[in-house]
Amino acid sequence: MSKPNNQGGASGFSRISPAALLFPFLFIGVWYVAAGLAGNETTFPSPVTVGKIILAEARSGALFIHVGATLARVAAAFVIAMAVGCAIGLWMGRNRGINRWGDPWLVFFLNMPALVTIVLCYIWIGLTEAAAITAVAINKIPMVAVMMREGARTLDPGLNDMARVFRMTPAARLAHVVIPQLAPHFASAGRAGIALIWKIVLVVELLGASTGVGFQIHTYFQLFDVGAVLAYALSFIIVMLVVEYLILQPWERHASRWRNAG
Amino acid sequence: MSKPNNQGGASGFSRISPAALLFPFLFIGVWYVAAGLAGNETTFPSPVTVGKIILAEARSGALFIHVGATLARVAAAFVIAMAVGCAIGLWMGRNRGINRWGDPWLVFFLNMPALVTIVLCYIWIGLTEAAAITAVAINKIPMVAVMMREGARTLDPGLNDMARVFRMTPAARLAHVVIPQLAPHFASAGRAGIALIWKIVLVVELLGASTGVGFQIHTYFQLFDVGAVLAYALSFIIVMLVVEYLILQPWERHASRWRNAG
Amino acid sequence: SPIRGPIQAADPDPIRIAVLKFGTVNWELDTILHNGLDKANGFTLEVKPLAGSAAAKIAFEGGEADILVSDWIWVARRRATGADLVFLPYSKSVGGVMVAGNSPAQTLADLKHSKIAIAGGPLDKSWLILQAYALKNGMDLKTSTEQVFGAPPLLHQKALTGEFGGIVNFWHYLARLEAKGFRTLVSVNDAARDLGLDPDIPLLGYVMKGDFVREHADRVRGFAAASRAAKKILEEDDTAWERLRPIMKAEDDAAFEKLKAGFRAGIPDGQAVDPDAAARFFNLMAQLGGEQLVGTATTLPDGVFVDVGGW
Amino acid sequence: MQVEVRHKKFGGAQILDWIEMSVGAGEIVALTGPSGIGKTTLLRIIAGLDRDFEGAVTDPGRIAMVFQSPTLMPWRSAADNLRLTTGAERASIDRLLDEVGLEGKAKFFPGQLSLGQQRRLALARALAANPATLLMDEPFISLDEETAARMRRLTMKVLEGRRIATLIVTHDLVEAATLADRVVMLGGRPAAIETIVPITTPRARRDAVTEAAALRALTPGGAGNAHGNLT
Amino acid sequence: MQVEVRHKKFGGAQILDWIEMSVGAGEIVALTGPSGIGKTTLLRIIAGLDRDFEGAVTDPGRIAMVFQSPTLMPWRSAADNLRLTTGAERASIDRLLDEVGLEGKAKFFPGQLSLGQQRRLALARALAANPATLLMDEPFISLDEETAARMRRLTMKVLEGRRIATLIVTHDLVEAATLADRVVMLGGRPAAIETIVPITTPRARRDAVTEAAALRALTPGGAGNAHGNLT
Ligand SMILES: Nc1ncnc2c1ncn2[C@@H]1O[C@H](COP(=O)(O)OP(=O)(O)OP(=O)(O)O)[C@@H](O)[C@H]1O
Ligand SMILES: Nc1ncnc2c1ncn2[C@@H]1O[C@H](COP(=O)(O)OP(=O)(O)OP(=O)(O)O)[C@@H](O)[C@H]1O
Ligand SMILES: [Mg+2]
Ligand SMILES: [Mg+2]
């Protein structure tokens, strides 16, 4: 048992690292220099140009409408996909029979092109938000399921036995035996998941929405307005960075503090 | 320690399950009935229609050219992304300092829309295969890194200490201590990875390639020929099912046989 | 309450059209809306902006839009499979193959062994006509050049940096290239004429479902009239263009002028489409594009071109 | 609690032969036998963790178990490890932690405890569970003699007067003789019951002398020294 | 091998006080002390696994360690667990497996072994490593007396004539007295060396009688019975 130095007892949340706080400056600096070297505002706009576009879009309100619309879709699809995906993944990971029958379907849906699912959802359900979110969820569920299934397979049988012997309730087992072990898988499914979902939402918005970051990015791409494309892409990335540092990482630190304390 | 029933000693590879072998029939059956109920060949072609298109495309040779091209891109991008992503992920998972500085970049690239990376790669590198594969790899690497980082964080410190005390060589540690622990994370990164890569390859082929399944899907999609779109999507899914059952699963069974034997 | 306002006249029935947000059709649609041509012709125009042509097709197939902009070859293909779609001409603008101003190429033959960018994919109609034209003049364009397919804006940008020997793109991209000093090597109109085809057949148009046309003949007729009226304004009135300038996204005056000229050149003459000429055109397309392009239609099916009377 | 194992195999190898034993409520039975004979396997069968055997377990009731390795939830504090498994209340958890010598360590994660402390926590968990059947797989190893003695006393105190059927696996014959009412020795391959030694002295009167006698009775060679002969 | 720990803290709590000891080549030192005092911590410091302390470890050379829990690679067979860590050859692996009573289990995964068998495998690994310093954290627990005695004999045989500095943590004073040349007892909080008892009888001549004498010398109360007093 390794016991790296650390305070005894369980400590709480900690702060955002200075490295993360420095990142925006570092990033903009690198970008500024690179853009200067490239010297082509059309294909490689400088951060100043893009910043101005972001400001202009924000002032007109368009930015918030589109980022908001995309965020709402991402959030809805994320919640659905994680819930359903985790359930399927855990079930398949713990039950060989289910896994044997479900596995080819999982592989099938995992490799179904987003485009096809999206088109079919739009055609069958209609050009509605429900269709968009369903399409994204269908794309994402198999991935979450695959990741959680791997997690479920690695569950410590010793702890499982312990929970059985002491007749822990299903809820307690889930909360105190299963989820802590799955936390790393959950974190990577969540993180990779949001990223994937947002990529799919872009396609969804390309194919059938009149709002959203994806809609804007593709519209500006038609005009080859790289600055505006980057402005929208960046706005969303900023939102995701905020989510990462204000929600995901504190949660993760909290969930894994036993590892660093032990 | 749970000891479910199993043969003593380490057993070898085992066969494809009958459930998997039955899947194609089951799947086509369900599809056939659903298509019959929908009764609209344009938006929901029957398996017979799609099968005929697959056969026709195969006979003309087009199917093999395009599936081959896509497969080659997927394979190249997969190898690059897994190698680089694993290296980055392990490094970040084991080294707090690196992680602190690298983390915002990782989040940034993780949430960079595929479209943006692809377009920029095409602009800066040129409309070449290299640009296509680079674009896909850039899209995929952060995801592999995120997943492997989580894996690296869960490495058993006890075994790590053991390896240090007994002065196992770095290669031996990697092969016998690290990789077996990461196998589940590796499997889910790989499986989710191929699926993601192939989704991105579709976008890459949409934007700037002249061969490939994505190219074909988009061409037929312009014509709104859902049958042909499904034919190409399905052909690739079949390839992925074969890869899953002939390569991934036997490897996985082999890698995890200690779990089932113990 | 005792005081009531005047009873609001209900809006006339809507026509929903799915278009690219910054597509050229918007210029006409915007003019219709701005001048109230829709209400004047007994319908309310609802424009659904979308981010891609695929999106528009989905909206149309999914019943979210009544009208879609596409070409009549596709309508014919769909009709052959039993879909009841009809076509109302909108524009005869087509492109051609363009080369950089300083390119030594003077004829198609000079493009031998060079890269040609084709935005519409291997089934692009301009590309097919150019191939037929080259073949007639003793050159196999497909085998003697290297084709690069890709997204139109990307190819446009790459053309500007001189990556291709020639480029075939949608007319508004080509108009922008022209403003940048590119020149047309062979125009599709010339090529078509050389092949004995009627270059005045509008390739692009408004696509509607047959049911819709039959059930709402008045509205469709009104739409056709509004379209006609908008075109007339755009043909004659330069100030109307000044108003459109923001949505045209022209990078400079030169491009603006080229786009204006291009649009005007593409306005159809208003004559009904000659079925024989169309059939000949279709046959050539069927021959060049094969089943991939025209599907099961070997000859032009009946009823592709809608007759709205007074067109 | 009765258990009857007709046979138990792992893969091809038969591990347990016919084994029949019962532990009455309030009774303490010690189970001994060489390492690898199948003691843990038998305990797992009784606990219902291994159902792949021929035979039957009757009336085990609510079970608590001290596993051979501590098997704690590493992500929960020492106190939570007790609370979540047994539902014990704060006060009794604090008292129990005190009694097993973990005072002040309620908030420690298992990884911050020494192995002996983890074992004591696992012992406390089983004692707090208030079971009908208590299975203990070498509960007192990895402890210094004084602590081990304290743990034995604690265990006896908890068991006293309650109607718990207790089965303790131990390699320490003196321990077996002092704690148990009966010592069951496994032997052979596949394993079967070799000897059953009843300890008739009442628990309260067992002391060093009785132990020594018991020890002599138990060890085949009869020598008082059970520890390593190096010569 | 010398170790000098000025102090060692975990978070705020100081665990080890000034501890200075050296183990000469060929010497065997037993380390005892109550559970949770800091024995494993000291071993980890010597092994170089814990560098967060004030002090220094000099000349440990190549180290082998028997960890307090077996710490085997669960995904590698018993034979591979020996081969991959020590580089030993097939023949010597087979012999060693025989000697620790794991004959015929070379291909078993650790999960298929009983805990006692796993511990013996971990012991075999340390013995096969041919180290300059051998650290053993309770190597002979969880074994029946006969097996434990066999393991002790095997260990002494391997150590005999080699210039290995050996440090054995044990709670068993008899074991300490029979094996070691010196017994170091830790005590106090923070822990420091309390007593050092040299065992002067040559190893070959230590038998039950000497042991009993040693035992009396070691246990403060002086009573011959180190086992639990239940009264
Ligand atoms: N990471 C840690 N954080 C806080 N305290 C720790 C940590 N690791 C160990 N300790 C404390 O250090 C003390 C000594 O632990 P150590 O494992 O060295 O004991 P030990 O002497 O080996 O005991 P045992 O005989 O039970 O194995 C214990 O009281 C333990 O609680
Ligand atoms: N999954 C398994 N596959 C094959 N053999 C197994 C398996 N589990 C246990 N065994 C074998 O069963 C035998 C009994 O194991 P068990 O753990 O019950 O021993 P034990 O009596 O508890 O020994 P110890 O005192 O060392 O803990 C051992 O020889 C072991 O190798
Ligand atoms: Mg056991
Ligand atoms: Mg210890």
Q: Each residue of E43-89: pLDDT tens digit? A: 999 999 999 999 999 988 899 999 999 999 999 999 999 999 998 89
The strand pairing partners of C305, in sequence order, are C87
- Cβ-contact C171, C95 below 8 angstroms: yes
Cβ of D116 below 6 Å from ligand 1: yes
| C-alpha D144 – ligand 3 centre gap (Å) | 20
Structural domains of chain E ordered from first start: 2-218 (3.40.50.300)
Query: Of the ligands numbered here, which is closest to the C-alpha atom of D33?
Result: 2
Check contact E-C (3+ Cβ pairs < 8 Å): no
Q: What is the mean pLDDT of chain A?
A: 85
User: Mutation test of the interface with chain A: which of E7, E39, E50, E137, choosing the one with the most A Cβ atoms within 10 A?
Assistant: E50
The strand pairing partners of C69, in sequence order, are C206
CB burial of B52-77 (b: ≥16 within 10 Å; e: otherwise) equals ebbeebeeeeebeebbebbbebbebb
Greatest C-alpha distance within chain B: 69
Q: Which 3 state secondary structure label does DSSP give B210?
A: coil
Ligand 2: residue whose CA is nearest its atom 23: D36
Q: How confident is the model at residue A11 (pLDDT cuts 50, 70, 90)?
A: very low
Helices (H), chain A: 18-38, 47-60, 62-94, 96-110, 114-125, 129-153, 157-165, 170-172, 179-208, 213-222, 226-243, 249-255, 257-261
Report the pLDDT averaged over residues E187-214: 77
| Residue A38: predicted pLDDT | 84
Residue D231 to residue E207: CA distance in whole angstroms:
8
CA angle D122, D128, D131 (to 5 degrees): 105
Peptide bond into D190 cis (omega under 30): yes
Of the candidates D15, D27, D21, D17, the one whose C-alpha atom is nearest the C-alpha of residue D2 is D21
Residue D145 to residue A233: CA distance in whole angstroms:
67
The answer to which of A185-194, D110-119, D200-209 has the lowest mean pLDDT is D200-209
E108 lies within 8 A of chain D by CB: no
Ligand 2: residue whose CA is nearest its atom 28: D36
A123 lies within 8 A of chain B by CB: yes
Contact state of C150 with B42 under an 8 Å Cβ cutoff: no
Of the candidates C67, C55, C64, the one whose C-alpha atom is nearest the C-alpha of residue C17 is C67
pLDDT digits (tens, 9 = 90+) for C127-161: 989 999 998 888 898 899 998 888 888 888 888 88
Angle between the N-to-C axes of helices B179-208 and A129-153, in degrees from 0 to 180, rounded to the nearest 10: 150
Instruction: Look up residue E165 and give its two tokens.
Output: 């500095």
Q: How confident is the model at residue C10 (pLDDT cuts 50, 70, 90)?
A: low
| C-alpha D41 – ligand 2 centre gap (Å) | 6
Burial of A33 (0-12, 13-18, 19+ CB in 10 A): exposed
Dihedrals phi, psi of A220, to nearest 5 degrees: -70, -25
Nearest atom in ligand 1 to the alpha carbon of residue D143 is 25
| Residue E16: predicted pLDDT | 92
Query: Of the ligands numbered here, which is closest to the C-alpha atom of E35?
Result: 1
Ligand 1: residue whose CA is nearest its atom 28: E36
| Residue C300: predicted pLDDT | 87
Q: What is the mean pLDDT of chain C?
A: 87
Cβ of E41 below 6 Å from ligand 1: yes
Q: How confident is the model at residue A88 (pLDDT cuts 50, 70, 90)?
A: very high
Q: Shortest CB distance from B207 goes to which of C53, C154, C293? A: C154
For domain B61-260, the CATH architecture is Orthogonal Bundle (1.10)
β-pairing, C166-168 vs C115-118, is: parallel
pLDDT digits (tens, 9 = 90+) for B131-143: 889 998 998 899 9
pLDDT in tens, chain B (262 residues): 333 333 333 333 446 778 888 888 999 999 999 888 888 777 788 999 999 999 999 998 989 999 999 999 999 999 999 999 999 999 998 888 888 888 899 989 988 888 888 888 888 888 888 988 999 899 889 999 998 998 888 889 999 999 999 999 999 999 999 999 998 888 888 888 888 888 888 888 878 777 888 888 888 887 888 888 899 999 988 988 888 888 888 888 888 888 877 5
Q: Which 3 state secondary structure label does DSSP give A233?
A: helix
Enumerate the residues of chain D whose CB falls inside 8 A of the CB of residue B2. Answer: 49
Report the pLDDT averaged over residues C232-249: 90
Report the pLDDT averaged over residues A109-114: 86
| Residue E68: predicted pLDDT | 93
E50 lies within 8 A of chain D by CB: no
| Residue E133: predicted pLDDT | 93
Report the pLDDT averaged over residues A80-108: 90
Residue A123 to residue A226: CA distance in whole angstroms:
31
Residue A212 to residue A68: CA distance in whole angstroms:
7
Residue C290 to residue C295: CA distance in whole angstroms:
8
| Residue A5: predicted pLDDT | 36
| Residue C20: predicted pLDDT | 84
Residue B220 to residue B231: CA distance in whole angstroms:
10
Q: How confident is the model at residue E223 (pLDDT cuts 50, 70, 90)?
A: very low
> What is residue D191's DSSP assignment?
B
Cβ of D115 below 6 Å from ligand 1: yes
| Residue D64: predicted pLDDT | 93
Over 70: is that where the pLDDT of C110 sits? yes
CA-based nearest distance B156→chain E, Å:
10
Over 80: is that where the pLDDT of E220 sits? no
- Cβ-contact E57, E3 below 8 angstroms: yes
Over 60: is that where the pLDDT of C2 sits? no
Question: What would you report as the CA-atom Rg of chain C, rounded to the nearest whole angstrom?
Answer: 20
β-pairing, E63-66 vs E2-10, is: unpaired
Question: What is the helix (H) or strand (E) element at residue C249, kind and residue range?
Answer: none
CA-based nearest distance E199→chain A, Å:
32
